[in-house]
């Protein structure tokens, strides 16, 4: 259940009262309770997030929270990034999905410690889950921690994990206008990575329009345009990561 988007129990409550003559009264009550619970959940999350941030800072670890829609290429970008940094920068990965450890399997054997979190019913990672995972996944000498959030452009943005900053991904098959449709993510991300650029021509995807939408929600936004598949644009991305830890 996500208290940010209101999916889960709050909606179920509504459905159980359908047809009830007094359901408006019940809905108002449920809404008040949901808002109060949401504030409590976010406050608890923030406490864990602050502790995580302090834990990471003590060890000099830069933590990046990767957020995007499912299928935009977070895991492939991480695969290629870990391969390139193997033996040069010690990395760790926490990867979140509702179910399966498929991403952890894809990311294994590339020189980084990888831990999969299965969120089951939840549409985002939270700081409590990260707190439990940090000591195991961040071995001595770790410089970069990648947190691959659950594929979702809305809810993960609301939950501070204690990361250094967020990076938003947007793949060309998703269209040019996601930044203005989901502005919270694209306004709060420190960096925006446009992925699957190798498909842009075939999709007649409009790069200037996408750049304009990005700038509209975050003037001066720092963006990369790359294809993890072909390697185009990867050098600039990797240079950026190297500079982060210097
Ligand atoms: Mg993935």
Cα separation, 142 vs 242, in Å, equals 13
**Residue 225: pLDDT over 80:** yes
- pLDDT band at residue 174 using 50, 70 and 90 as cut-offs: very high
- How many Å separate Cα 225 from the centre of its chain? 18
Q: How far apart are CA 130 and CA 134, in angstroms?
A: 6
Measured in Å, residue 185 CA sits from the centre of ligand 1 at: 18
Is 70 exceeded by the pLDDT of residue 134?
yes
| DSSP states of the chain | --TTT-TTHHHHHHHHTTT-TTHHHHHHHHHHHHHHHHHHHHHHHHHHHHHHHHHHHHTT-EEEEEE--TTSSHHHHHHHHHHHHTTTS-EEEEEEESS-SHHHHHHTTSSSEEEEEE-TT-SS--HHHHHHHHHHH--TT--EEEEE--S-SSHHHH---S-SEEEEEEEGGG-S-HHHHSHHHHHH-SEEEEE-GGGHHHHT--HHHHHHHHHHHSTT-EEEE--TTT-TTHHHHHHHHHHHT-
Residue 55, phi then psi, degrees to nearest 5? -60, -45
Cα of 98 from ligand 1 centre, angstroms: 11
What's the confidence (pLDDT) of residue 27?
58
- CA–CA separation, 210 and 102 (whole Å): 31
Reported as a single tens digit per residue, the pLDDT across 84-115 is: 999 999 999 999 999 999 999 999 999 999 99
**What contacts 11, CB < 8 A, 6 or more positions away?**
none
Residue-level pLDDT at 2: 72
- pLDDT-derived band at 18 (thresholds 50, 70, 90) equals very low
CA of 78 to the centre of ligand 1 (A): 9
Distance 19 CA to ligand 1 centre (A): 41
Rounded-to-integer distance, Cα 178 and Cα 69, Å: 10
End-to-end CA distance of the chain: 39
148 and 116 in contact (C-beta within 8 Å)?
Answer: no
Q: How far is the CA of 101 from the centre of ligand 1 (A)?
A: 10
What is the distance in A from the centroid of ligand 1 to the CA of 14?
33
Q: 23: CA distance to ligand 1 center in Å?
A: 40
Sign of CA dihedral 187, 189, 191, 192: negative
Please check the confidence at residue 10 and state whether its pLDDT lies above 90.
Answer: no
- Going by C-beta distance under 8 Å and a sequence separation of 6 or more, which residues neighbour residue 204? none
Q: How many degrees, rounded to 5, is the angle at CA 175 between CA 190 and CA 120? A: 70
pLDDT at 1: 54
Topology of domain 26-244, CATH: Rossmann fold (3.40.50)
- Output the CA 74–ligand 1 centroid distance in Å: 5
Q: Model confidence at 34, in pLDDT bands (50, 70, 90)?
A: confident
pLDDT band at 28 (very low <50, low <70, confident <90, very high): low
Q: What's the pLDDT tens digit per position in 52-74? A: 999 999 999 999 999 999 999 99
Is it the case that residue 126 has pLDDT exceeding 80? yes
């Amino acid at each position: 259940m996500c208290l940010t988007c209101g999916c889960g129990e709050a909606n179920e409550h509504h459905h159980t009262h359908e047809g009830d003559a007094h359901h408006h009264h019940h809905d108002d009550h449920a809404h008040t309770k949901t808002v109060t619970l949401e504030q409590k959940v976010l406050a608890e999350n923030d406490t864990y997030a602050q502790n995580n941030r302090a834990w990471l800072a003590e060890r000099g670890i830069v933590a990046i929270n990767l957020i995007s829609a499912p299928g935009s290429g977070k895991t492939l970008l991480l695969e290629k990034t870990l391969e390139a940094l193997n033996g040069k920068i010690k990395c760790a990965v926490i990867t979140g999905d509702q179910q399966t450890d498929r991403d952890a399997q894809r990311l294994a054997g590339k020189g980084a410690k990888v831990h999969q979190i299965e969120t089951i019913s939840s549409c985002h990672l939270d700081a409590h889950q990260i707190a439990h995972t940090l000591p195991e996944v961040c071995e001595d000498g770790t410089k970069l921690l990648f947190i691959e959030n659950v594929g979702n452009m809305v809810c993960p943005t609301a939950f501070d994990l204690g990361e250094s900053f967020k990076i938003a991904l947007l793949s060309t098959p998703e269209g040019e206008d996601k930044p203005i449709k989901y502005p919270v993510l694209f306004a709060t991300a420190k960096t925006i990575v446009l992925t699957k650029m190798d498909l842009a021509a075939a999709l007649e995807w409009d790069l200037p329009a996408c750049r304009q939408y990005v700038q509209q929600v975050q003037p001066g936004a720092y963006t990369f345009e790359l294809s993890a598949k072909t390697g185009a644009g990867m050098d600039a991305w990797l240079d950026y990561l190297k500079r982060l830890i210097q």
